[in-house]
Amino acid sequence: MLKQNHRAWVEIDLAAVKHNVRQLKQLLAPSTELMAVVKADAYGHGCIGVSQAALESGATWLGVATIPEGIQLRNAGITAPIVILGATNSSDEIGTIAEYRLQPTICNPKQALVFHEVLLEKSAAKLLEKLPVHLSIDTGMSRLGTNWQSAVEFVRLVQSLPQLEIASVYSHLATADDRDQSILRLQQQRFEQVIADLKVAGIDPPRLHLCNSAGMLTDRQLHYDLVRPGLALYGLYPAPHLRTSVDLRPVMQVKARITQVKSIEAGTGVSYGHSFHAAQDMRIATVAIGYADGIPRGLSNQISVALHGKIIPQIGTITMDQTLIDVSAVPDAEVGDVVTFLGHAELSPDLNVDKWAEILGTISWEILCGFKHRLPRICINQPDLVSYQAISK
Ligand SMILES: Cc1ncc(COP(=O)(O)O)c(C=O)c1O
């Protein structure tokens, strides 16, 4: 719930999450499942609200990066299968995974044996069920996983370990958002080779998966039994050329309040380093949000914001907790007014994450994940959910 005393916040439209999941589901064959990738606090959107919305609209799996992220979802009462997409190795981690019924990624034979031994010890103490595991095959990302050429021996080994149950075999795409599909097709070819080799070895994994958002928007042939979109859930396209197939709605808006309005004379320098000087007399306002909240300092003097429906420039260097804007075109601007930094396209095509990423020479994923927890996440369009912060307390 938005309060008058919120200085700055992130607004999360859970109806947009649901819309995006439904749109993405339309691309899938009826038997293909959707794993909502909600790692990094759902890319900064608040993992509990987003997970609930995604599960309500057709996702059947959740993907996180770390064990604490999985625990947070379990503690919120979420019972859907949760896959840890990052690597886990220590005996403590393995115990926690089993306790919270999380499903790990196993990347290589050594890790599989460690899991098996730790679980064997635990099951001697109290009988545990087999642990569902997801086997990562490296087809070209060179990050996690056993190289595709050794995939069959790896899968065969895991199959022989009575404490583990193979829930899926998967790989991850390195360049699916490139227009040039050559590496994508090479990875696909290698994955197909693994599937064929497994077949010859008489191994039929229950699920195969390969796609992130870009892969799933590129080609249905890549979908296999399950897809793992992250970015697309949040309403963003991995690349402009992938905008064609579905209509996605951005989920996040970032807003903050004006804390002071004043007039300055022509020639006055503004903010640290005086990177902006007033060309004429002007009205400026201070807004209570800065780089410590996740507005990148590199955007200084390069973005616009919205106030009272008007698009106006940000001026001067963005500081840790405060940012200045030119309100000369908004004579009734006053303390307490809400300024939109990231907003919907109807407001302006410029107040969006893709624009910021372009200015900074980075990717939209990094901007989304940059919003800090001191900004409360306010869920909108979801009357049965209060703000994410209230839930997580
Ligand atoms: C293994 C894995 N699958 C899926 C995703 C989702 O990727 P995207 O946000 O590009 O859809 C990620 C994110 O980096 C990932 O690491």
pLDDT at res. 221: 97
Tell me, using a 6 A CB cutoff, whether residue 171 lines ligand 1. Answer: no
pLDDT at res. 136: 98
Residue 301's contacts (CB-CB under 8 Å, 6 or more residues apart) are 275, 276, 313, 314, 315, 316, 317
Distance between CA atoms of residues 337 and 56, nearest Å: 35
Torsion of CA 188, 193, 198, 202, to 10 degrees: 120
Q: What phi and psi values does residue 206 have, to the nearest 5 degrees?
A: -65, -25
Mean local confidence (pLDDT), 265-269: 98
Dump the DSSP string for 193-223. Answer: HHHHHHHHTT---S-EEEE-HHHHHH-GGG-
Residue 259's contacts (CB-CB under 8 Å, 6 or more residues apart) are 7, 286, 287, 288, 322, 335
Catalytic annotation on 39?
yes
Q: Which fold has domain 14-234?
A: TIM Barrel (3.20.20)
* Nearest Cα residue to atom 6 of ligand 1: 230
Strand locations in 241-351 (E):
252-264, 269-270, 276-277, 282-287, 304-307, 310-315, 323-326, 338-342
Tell me, using a 6 A CB cutoff, whether residue 314 lines ligand 1. Answer: no
Q: What phi and psi values does residue 178 have, to the nearest 5 degrees?
A: -75, 145
Which of 110, 199, 272, 372 is an active site residue?
A: 272
Task: Tell me if domain 14-234 and domain 252-362 are identical in fold.
Answer: no
Dump the DSSP string for 90-154. Answer: SHHHHHHHHHTT-EEEE-SHHHHHHHHHHHHHHHHHS--PPEEEEEEEESS--SSSEEGGGHHHH
Tell me, using a 6 A CB cutoff, whether residue 231 lines ligand 1. Answer: yes
Mean local confidence (pLDDT), 51-55: 98
pLDDT at res. 388: 38
Q: Is the pLDDT of residue 116 over 90?
A: yes
Which of 18, 39, 122, 255 is an active site residue?
A: 39
Do 14 and 249 form a contact (C-beta atoms < 8 A)? no
pLDDT in tens, 76-105: 999 999 999 999 989 899 999 999 999 999
User: Where do the structural domains in the chain lie, given as residue ranges?
Assistant: 14-234, 252-362
* Nearest Cα residue to atom 13 of ligand 1: 230
CA of 3 to the centre of ligand 1 (A): 34
Tell me, using a 6 A CB cutoff, whether residue 12 lines ligand 1. Answer: no
pLDDT at res. 167: 98
Q: What residues pair up with 324 in beta bridges, in sequence order?
A: 286, 315
pLDDT at res. 85: 98
Three-state SS at 283: strand
Catalytic annotation on 393?
no
CA of 142 to the centre of ligand 1 (A): 15
| 229, two tokens | 């979109």
Homologous superfamily of domain range 252-362: Lyase, Ornithine Decarboxylase; Chain A, domain 1 (2.40.37.10)
Tell me, using a 6 A CB cutoff, whether residue 230 lines ligand 1. Answer: yes
Tell me, using a 6 A CB cutoff, whether residue 209 lines ligand 1. Answer: no
Distance between CA atoms of residues 121 and 116, nearest Å: 9
Q: What is the pTM of this model?
A: 0.94
Closest among 245, 225, 183 to 23, alpha carbons compared = 245
User: Angle, to 10 degrees, between the axis of helix 47-56 and the axis of helix 14-26?
Assistant: 40
Q: To the nearest whole percent, how much of the chain has pLDDT over 90?
A: 89
- Substitution candidate for ligand 1 out of 105, 144, 172, 246 with most atoms within 8 A of CB: 172
Q: Is the pLDDT of residue 326 over 90?
A: yes
Distance between CA atoms of residues 17 and 252, nearest Å: 10
- Substitution candidate for ligand 1 out of 66, 212, 222 with most atoms within 8 A of CB: 212
Distance between CA atoms of residues 213 and 43, nearest Å: 13
Distance between CA atoms of residues 77 and 65, nearest Å: 19
